[in-house]
Structure 1
Amino acid sequence: MRCTMIKCMHLEKRAMKMYVDMMKIWRNKSSHLFDMQTVSLKFIIVIIWLITGGECWTVTVQTGGSVIIPCHYESKYTQHKKFCCYHPSGCYNSCSILGYANETKGNVSVIDHPDQSLFTVTMRDLHHQNTGDYSCAMEIEGAAYDVTERFYLTIQSVPDLSVMSSSVTVDEGGNISVQCLYTSTYRNKHKQWCRYKDQSCYTSQNASVEISDDRRGSLTVVMSGLMKSDSGWYYCSVEDFHAPVQLTVNVAKVSVGDAQVTDKFSVTETTTALTTESTSRQHDHLKMWPLLIVLLLLLFLVTVTSVIWRNKHRENNNHISKMKKEKVSDECRPADAGENVICSPVPE
């Protein structure tokens, strides 16, 4: 395939250059013995890398479309600078940096996700001129750069391999269905559903993964009973073609009273927060008690004063009535025997 041919051609050139350098030093070995040993070692390393090194896979994208490439790295490289390379003359010959991590340059964005030990390369609005060899790389101390992923990008009106949706989200415990589309050329070819992180591929015997190929251009993958740990990047594959898919599994929501949390480890924190809020409200209520007591005392005093005033007023009225009656009695005088009692009118 394309990447394998380029890798072999380029490494052949590197190995040849190393051999020529070694021969030059051999002619002057008395003064450059250490350099000869160093070059020999480099030569051996290149030959070993030629035999075992670097897989390069192919991604096909529809004209005008976009693609996201996941690039995993070891956690010890979290602080290292990451970038995306374009190789005009082959997979590993020269590097034209398209963009560094956490920046967007033209139609390329590189985003680092240190919590997942990966960075993603997003390429948008792709056309035929974007076809070529690319790599995800990191600056490593003591070397120019270290390649983590190598891929050949080809732009087609009808991609050899693609997916209906490159991003799928589901709640924990749920199921997903991914549809991978391929052209008639690969109808009878072996197809797989794999995970980038550990390069493990699933088989039809896996209880949680069901893979079915209709042999007419569609491969369907159903994953069930998904857990948070299943989140990550996967891909459909046929020969050296990859179609990346990002799977995000959200933690099931847990209800605590009227509150909802999305992480079971947050339940205790949420309960504590609710308890603190309740305690705060109780403290607010306690602060209001003195004011309520004062208001009740005022109400009591007003009520008592009102009752006393009414009683006083009633007593005054009774006293006045009594005095009027006494006045009337004083003004009445008895008449002679056999006469009626005569009372003079009481002045108002």
Structure 2
Amino acid sequence: MYVQVECTDVQVCPNALHMGLKGWFKFTLIYLEVQSRGSITIPCHYDQKYIHYVKYWCKGFYWNFCNYAARTDKTMGTKTSISDDLIQRVFTVTMTDLTSADSDYYWCAVEINNKPDIRIQQYYLSVTGAPGLYVEQQQVTGVEGGSATVCCYYSNTGYVAWCRVGVPCVWYSGTLGGALGRINLAMDAKNRKVLTVTMSDLKMEDAGWYWCSVGDLQIPVQITVKPHSATTLSTTTNHKTQSPDNPQTSSSSTSGPVVNTSHHTDRSSGPIYHQWLDDLKILLIPLVMLLVLIAGVLVAWKMWRKHGNNKANDQPTNTAVGYVNPFIHIYTI
């Protein structure tokens, strides 16, 4: 993803690689602010070797004394839930109906039996009436080859960046995951300062978790990429096979393209066979009608001949009729 930063305020233009190093998400405390009674989803990425381990979310400043708030192997409460995506190797924690009592330090970690647990990341969550950085939607969807726009509203000051986990953050311009992007700072209709990130030329591999960052605050955003024009692909496939009785189905996924199975269809059950049957029906119908018409004509002709023969047999023959010789002339005197 290529990102170009357009700064309209010198206070938010960075002059150092703050947060820009790979591994920043592992070793730096992340500050989050959430609206009171609001909710937030936080991603925690882990290494391939920890896929089948228990992950958890615990509350407290000190690692050794933090209290479990959510675990992947059991239900801890109703306000905090945890979900583990084994394919993307990320577990997400969702906290709802937040109050000031939820403001605290949190850890996301992996539990290792008979060995020290693996600490992935530490967060500080502040529940306030006016968060300094927030988004109205944490999940944004785009189409492959298209674009996705993220609006991050902020009131604090500091450096501005658009980041992805495991990749150096982008400030002015550069690549981030492969999609072409643009950052713009402006004011919206409600006089809120908004950091607008537009990601274009999306690819399936661009799907994942990103971060808006302004000053010391961050907010996670999930980008979902759907296959390019899945409906159009299905329609095109139908036109190619010319078989409305056997349409192809398409599935939306963020991890792969739509697979067209019509190229591997068996002849005895595929669209070509059905089309052949349809063509045969079209040819047989007029042929049968023609045969019926010919049979009707033959029956009518035979009935007409029989009727004519019967009429000739019923007519009597008269042999006593006088014969007048045309060569004999009768003269009367």
What range is the shorter-chain TM-score in?
Answer: 0.5 to 0.7
Which residue of structure 2 lines up, in the alignment, with residue 58 of structure 1? 31
Which residue of structure 2 lines up, in the alignment, with residue 307 of structure 1? 301
Structure 1 residues 214 and 294: CA distance shift in structure 2, 3 A: closer
Which residue of structure 2 lines up, in the alignment, with residue 256 of structure 1? 237
Which consecutive unaligned segments of at least 5 residues does structure 1 have?
Answer: 1-52, 336-348
1: distance between equivalents of 2:123 and 2:228? Answer: 36
1:127 lines up with 2:103 in the alignment: no
State the one-letter code of the partner of 2:200. Answer: S
2: distance between equivalents of 1:85 and 1:104? Answer: 11
1:269 lines up with 2:261 in the alignment: yes
Contact kept, 8 Å, 2:39 with 2:95, in 1: the verdict is: yes
Note the C-alpha offset of 1:104. Answer: 8.2
Pick from 30, 37, 42 the counterpart of residue 69 of structure 1: 42
State the one-letter code of the partner of 1:193. Answer: W
1:187-213 Cα distance to aligned partner (Å, 9 max, x none): 2x21211112x1420121237333334
Q: Secondary structure at the match of 1:83?
A: strand
Note the C-alpha offset of 1:307. Answer: 2.9
**Higher alpha-carbon Rg:** 1
Structure 1 residues 287 and 230: CA distance shift in structure 2, 3 A: same
Note the C-alpha offset of 1:157. Answer: 0.3
Note the C-alpha offset of 1:94. Answer: 2.8
Note the C-alpha offset of 1:242. Answer: 1.6
Note the C-alpha offset of 1:284. Answer: 7.0
Note the C-alpha offset of 1:139. Answer: 2.7
State the one-letter code of the partner of 1:74. Answer: D
Which residue of structure 1 lines up, in the alignment, with residue 20 of structure 2? none
Q: Secondary structure at the match of 1:115?
A: coil
State the one-letter code of the partner of 1:236. Answer: C
State the one-letter code of the partner of 1:256. Answer: T
- Once structures 1 and 2 are overlaid, which stretch shifts more, 151-160 or 233-242? 233-242
State the one-letter code of the partner of 1:218. Answer: V
Structure 1 residues 212 and 292: CA distance shift in structure 2, 3 A: closer
Which consecutive unaligned segments of at least 5 residues does structure 2 have?
Answer: 1-25, 240-247, 324-333
Note the C-alpha offset of 1:235. Answer: 0.7
1:221 lines up with 2:197 in the alignment: yes
- Once structures 1 and 2 are overlaid, which stretch shifts more, 228-237 or 90-99? 90-99
2: distance between equivalents of 1:334 and 1:182? Answer: 132
1:84 lines up with 2:57 in the alignment: yes
Q: Which has the higher contact order (CA 8 A, sep 6+)?
A: 2
RMSD: 3.6
1:306-347 Cα distance to aligned partner (Å, 9 max, x none): 432332222222322xx33x1xx15x5659xxxxxxxxxxxx
Note the C-alpha offset of 1:245. Answer: 0.7
1:210 lines up with 2:182 in the alignment: yes
Using structure 2 for the length normalisation, give the TM-score. Answer: 0.68
The count of corresponding residues between Structure 1 and Structure 2 is: 272
State the one-letter code of the partner of 1:222. Answer: T
- Percent identity, aligned pairs only? 28
2: distance between equivalents of 1:157 and 1:265? Answer: 43
Going by fraction, where is helix more abundant, 1 or 2?
Answer: 1
Contact kept, 8 Å, 1:84 with 1:100, in 2: the verdict is: no
Using structure 1 for the length normalisation, give the TM-score. Answer: 0.65
State the one-letter code of the partner of 1:96. Answer: Y
Structure 1 residues 267 and 90: CA distance shift in structure 2, 3 A: closer
Which residue of structure 1 lines up, in the alignment, with residue 310 of structure 2? 316
1:154 lines up with 2:126 in the alignment: yes
- Once structures 1 and 2 are overlaid, which stretch shifts more, 255-264 or 158-167? 255-264
